Amino acid sequence: MSDLDNIAVRGARVNNLKNVSFTIPVNSLTVVTGVSGSGKSSLAFDTVYAEGQRRYVESLSAYARQFLERMDKPDVDEVIGICPAIAINQKNSTRNPRSTVATQTEIYDYLRLLYARVGVTICRRCGSTVKRDTPESIADALLARPDSSAGLPEGTRFYVLFPASAGAVVGENGDPVKAVNSTGSGSDRVKKTRAKKSSAGSINVKAHLMSLMGRGFTRLYLAAKDEILELQTPDSYEGKDFENIYVLVDRLTARADSPQPSGRFARNLFPRKPRAIRNSNHRR
């Protein structure tokens, strides 16, 4: 067995250990047993762990070592094949029932980072690889190959929509909840209330339509009627809620020979600036 396959300790004389020599195989679970006072903790903590931690600290720079506690070399003749070690106290210092060896030693945080950066996430529903998308990649996936099954057919006319209720905060009395300034006091401080599922917790339709028009969205798509409604004023929409109602952002046509629809589509997915309010008489 080579030196890389085990940890060899020669002449350990820490506490109750009387010139003990032993080897511990790596990549395996080793249990140290014995009667009380036989030197189990001296062997595991005061010898193996102490030497591994000491060598790790010595491998750091002088600047980093000044912030760490200085560790003395254990009373042992030789330790071969040791690597940086982690020791967990026998007493559980936390009362969290979800605490594990990984969370106590903070290995869990590094494992999460490792899997997030190196690992490949597979969707459990469709089995495809989960990757980071941008507005451009989404537009290319839908429009770059209109002649294939993955994209839209050539000449397909489609709408860029989002739910009209998106961004509307429901208040207890039906009014949108306003943001609260933490420095306010008295009447300036407005407490947020939870939305109720009753009729009293409905969305303030007119106020939300004014907010949409102020951001340049002046057209609604009525899915039930397959119609487009031009918003000249908030009173143009007579509905009491936004069920099956969508805001029309743009109307495009899929063409393989023109990059313009893809670029417009990508810009409309996540617009960086508010769109200017269009003249209600202007139609495309």
pLDDT of residue 202: 54
The CA distance from 166 to 87, in Å, is 51
Question: DSSP assignment, residue 115?
Answer: H
The CA distance from 234 to 240, in Å, is 12
The CA distance from 1 to 166, in Å, is 66
Within a 10 A sphere around the Cβ of 237, how many other Cβ atoms?
A: 19
Of 94-98, 220-224, 272-276, the range with the highest mean pLDDT is 220-224
pLDDT tens digits, one per residue of 184-216: 444 444 444 443 333 434 568 888 999 999 988
Torsion of CA 123, 124, 128, 133, to 10 degrees: -10
Q: Compute CA distances 78 → 51, 81, 243, whole Å.
A: 10, 10, 76
Structure pTM?
0.43
Find where tokens 């339709």 sit: 205
The CA distance from 3 to 7, in Å, is 7
Within a 10 A sphere around the Cβ of 272, how many other Cβ atoms?
A: 6
Q: Are 11 and 78 in contact (CB under 8 A)?
A: yes
Q: Residue 181 carries which side chain, given as an amino acid letter?
A: N
Within a 10 A sphere around the Cβ of 50, how many other Cβ atoms?
A: 21
What is the average pLDDT across 50-70? Answer: 81
User: Between 135-143 and 260-269, two packed helices, what is the crossing angle to 10 degrees?
Assistant: 140
The CA distance from 273 to 132, in Å, is 23
The encoded tokens of residue 222 equal: 């009525």
Task: Answer yes or no: is pLDDT of 147 > 70.
Answer: no
Task: Answer yes or no: is pLDDT of 222 > 60.
Answer: yes
pLDDT of residue 261: 52
Q: Are 210 and 234 in contact (CB under 8 A)?
A: yes
Percent of the chain with pLDDT strictly greater than 70 = 70
Q: Are 245 and 223 in contact (CB under 8 A)?
A: yes
Task: Answer yes or no: is pLDDT of 57 > 60.
Answer: yes
The CA distance from 217 to 171, in Å, is 23
pLDDT tens digits, one per residue of 63-121: 877 877 777 788 888 888 888 887 777 676 667 777 777 887 788 898 999 988 888 88
Find where tokens 């002088």 sit: 62
pLDDT tens digits, one per residue of 155-166: 778 888 899 988
Q: What is the mean pLDDT of the chain?
A: 75
Helix (H) or strand (E) holding 77: strand 76-80
The CA distance from 157 to 134, in Å, is 22
